[in-house]
Amino acid sequence: MAPTRGAGGGVRLPPMNALEILRETVRVLRGDPHAFTSILFLLLCPASGCLLLSAAALDGTVVLPLARRLLVAAAASGLPLTHFVRQLAHHLAATLVSAVVSFPALLTLLLGARAAVAYSVAAVYAGKPLAAGDITLLARRAWPRLAATYALGCAAVAAGLVAFFALLVTACSTLKAMLYPPDIVVCAGLFTVLAYSVVYAHTIIICNLGGVIAVLEEVAGVNALRRSVQLMRGQTHVGLLIFLGSTIGLAFVEGLFEHRVKTLSYGDGSSRLWEGPLLVLMYSFVMLIDSMMSAVFYFTCRSSSLDLLDKEGASVEELEMMRADNSDAVR
């Protein structure tokens, strides 16, 4: 869908679903491919490499011991150590390790990429593509606001994770103490995981949109997240679908990396020399599309908010006209 211009010259996008936002993202990507390709190779590829390689490099020394501790805690709380629980513990341990080890890269490269993507998308909509130097300068200026918002989002996710673990252990331990069968304990654990997944998804989409707001509207922290919640009213389902699609894409590439690079190779292992960088590039591209979709989603939400304000303004004008007519009739 082609954007239109509002009365103030700003871009106006019609309400879109997740698939239409993806199509619009592809259109924006074609609008300035040089800028987005530069962001992909210079910023996102190193960040993706840190994320994927950190857990693989520390698998035997850090990830496995942490996974064992998680399994011990799960067994103590009453959860049966099924294959699914073991896989979940290992995946959670790998995710935590990669997030902690790669945090400096995420704080610099990833946030710089998100700021550059937001400005590049805005430039495409403005019809004035920015030079690389201008994007770099703007991204550096926006980085403190984006970093503050990102840190607040990380704190919210960490608090939610701690609350999830506490609730999971409490629920499973209570059911175990009440001598419920293991199947009931597993069901309680699954319901807890489902509830946390819903809360986590909402937190991520609010933080992603808040990051775009921190870049383009020059607000940060709590104000950016509050603005994100306000803009996303009525379109939360679209944000959830965007999050779901991005999560599936990233998980698919992570699975390929786990299978093709970490545990499988052909002959002398030379296949890793080209499959590893290719999967890092694929992971980076999914991250680029996710950041661009968040920016497009911001413009659709803002356009819907402006349309609502225009309708409210028109309603106020109609009420004032009716009052004036009534006053004239009384006179």
- The pLDDT, as a whole number, for residue 326 is 44
Please indicate, yes or no, if residue 319 is contained in any of the structural domains.
no
Please indicate, yes or no, if residue 327 is contained in any of the structural domains.
no
CB atoms within 10 A of CB 139: 23
As a whole number of angstroms, the distance between CA 212 and CA 197 comes to 23
Please indicate, yes or no, if residue 318 is contained in any of the structural domains.
no
Please indicate, yes or no, if residue 322 is contained in any of the structural domains.
no
Rg (C-alpha) for the chain, rounded Å, is 24
As a whole number of angstroms, the distance between CA 88 and CA 189 comes to 12
Please indicate, yes or no, if residue 195 is contained in any of the structural domains.
yes
The number of folded domains in the chain is 1
Please indicate, yes or no, if residue 325 is contained in any of the structural domains.
no
Mean pLDDT along residues 298-315: 63
Q: Residues 104-161: pLDDT tens digits?
A: 888 899 999 999 999 999 999 888 878 888 888 888 899 999 999 999 999 999 998 8
Q: Residues 74-83: pLDDT tens digits?
A: 888 777 788 8
Mean pLDDT along residues 220-237: 90
- Domain coverage including residue 208: 4-311
Q: Residues 254-272: pLDDT tens digits?
A: 888 887 777 655 545 556 6
Task: Quote the pTM value.
Answer: 0.84
Please indicate, yes or no, if residue 171 is contained in any of the structural domains.
yes
- The pLDDT, as a whole number, for residue 44 is 93
Q: Residues 158-207: pLDDT tens digits?
A: 998 889 888 888 888 888 888 888 888 888 888 888 888 999 999 999 99
End-to-end Cα separation, the chain, in angstroms? 51
DSSP string, 181-250: -HHHHHHHHHHHHHHHHHHHHHHHHHHHHHHHHHHHS---THHHHHHHHHHTTT-HHHHHHHHHHHHHHH
Please indicate, yes or no, if residue 326 is contained in any of the structural domains.
no
